[in-house]
Structure 1
Amino acid sequence: MQSQLKKSWNFATHLRNQQNQLQHAKLQPDARILAIYQHKVWVENLPSAPQLINCPADFQPADEQLTFLGLDGQQPYFSFCLSDAQANKLLESHPNSTFTELKPIAPLLPAGDAELAALACFSSHWHQRHQFCGVCASPTTISDSGHQRQCSNDECDERYFPSMDPAVIMLVTKGDQCLLGRSSRWPDNMYSTLAGFVEPGETAEQAVAREVDEEVGIQVENVIYQNSQSWLFPYSLMLGFRATASHSQINYNPAEIEDARWFTRQQILAGEVDLPNPAAISYQLITAWLNEASSSQP
């Protein structure tokens, strides 16, 4: 996901309870309906790159299955979660298609499609996890065009809304070096910025200092917010920061990360380390730091 949806995007929240208008929008020739099955997105396997497939005209889901994502200009976007039978029917009618995890293919999709597919997968994941009321355990029903679930027990009437978990991601620097770490799950030689979730009761800046100390044993200062990114894999709001290390001695926690090292700008530019995907905020933080050196040169 990019740090924000493209400028023409409109969540159009005022339409979520306008069923007549949404019914009309769904039937428009340019309407896009993204099919999601088990949190996977429906794509066509093309030689160059996968491509999102629009739900065919003869396969219209019921209104209560749809989540209204918003408008791209005047073009309406919806998503819906498929049953096993519906998924099999789509695969049979489109032999060259498949349902795939979005994260690995997101860099291959046009930016707008990747962002919207992430919204659709997020919606699917949230609905699957909120099918029952956390207060009375009664089934919940979909309302507000997919942006709310309501307890079916009239005496309870608890309501649930989609939300994201705040997380911090930070580039720690000292002089002409930046601190990068790696997880054992990543490809060999890939390093990225440190990150972690914000704990209840702390500020984002406090979370930055705590996470860096926990992961690599370094205290930081000059914690400055940079930018944010909705990282809907499945539901995080990444808050990007820069921070300055008070010392350079690394004492990384093997329970948290596999390795951590200091890298100079020259090492990164020479390709001595593999950076994260360009769509990720971690890549943006690193490249912004790299560009500071070139912009400061006469």
Structure 2
Amino acid sequence: MAVLFAGLIAVSLALGAARLDQDALWLLAVSRLPRTVAAMLAGAALAVAGVIMQMLARNRFVEPATVGTAQAAGLGLVLVTLAAPAAAIWVKMLVATVSALAATAGFMALVRRLPPRDPMLVPLTGIVYGGILAALAVFLAFENDMLQYIEVWTSGELSGVMLGRYEFLWLAGAATVLAYAYANRFTIAGMGEEMSLSLGLNYAQVMALGLAIVSVVTAVTVVSVGMLPFVGLVVPNIASRLAGDHLRHSLPGLAAFGAALVLACDILGRVIWYPYEIPVGTILGVVGAAVFLWLLQGRRAHAA
């Protein structure tokens, strides 16, 4: 993993339309290093948020982008932009976090009412739930001539990341560290409420903390670089197959895998149509969908 990271970072720093000549240090410091760091922070944080979401929902087919969390963050951005167009970025991020938290809590309340016999009902409910929130955001944007604004957060894009425009992603990194500190509690919470209470765990408190971490990570990522699909879905599933479900043991590798995936997809998007770029969200959508279908086929073959 260390060798892979070193190679990806070197390629990311060296790749670009501008040549590294006499202004190499300035270009690296202002543009390419922030972009590389932003890709790794977003990937690691989204992978961790995805596994926490799966633990809390007790379903392997959910992530923040498929349960309405990311869509609610975008809706919060639209609402705060309409109410206070000149609001500071941290105000917009706070509103997006609160909106994402409320929507995620609403999804968890819906999950409790679903029959446990069919696990596919959970992601299907999440997709419909998120689609309603996204439709509401698009309707408000259309009515107020803000459709281009919606495009910014729906298509993950790292080309605009520069020094001074990515630092809020360190909050997502801090949330990832906090998740590692409570990894054992999240593992127990993934066993269900009855088992958690029997083991002496404050289930409600852990649920609240998990929802807060997922909401903060999602909102910060959406505001900073847009929506990055499938990271929180495929990375936890692959990590679970390789390292098991004990988060204390698997979380560092899972975060590293998520960071490497986003960084690799960003590099791929910059190479395919060089010197132009394909948004990293588009590349992740194609790669993530293919990997997810492979995981589904493997699950069916294993069940058979």
Give the TM-score normalised by the residue count of structure 2: 0.23
Tell me which protein shows more helix as a share of its residues: 2
Give the TM-score normalised by the residue count of structure 1: 0.23
Higher relative contact order (CA 8 A, sep 6+): 2
Tell me which protein shows more strand as a share of its residues: 1
Over alpha carbons, which structure has the higher Rg? 1
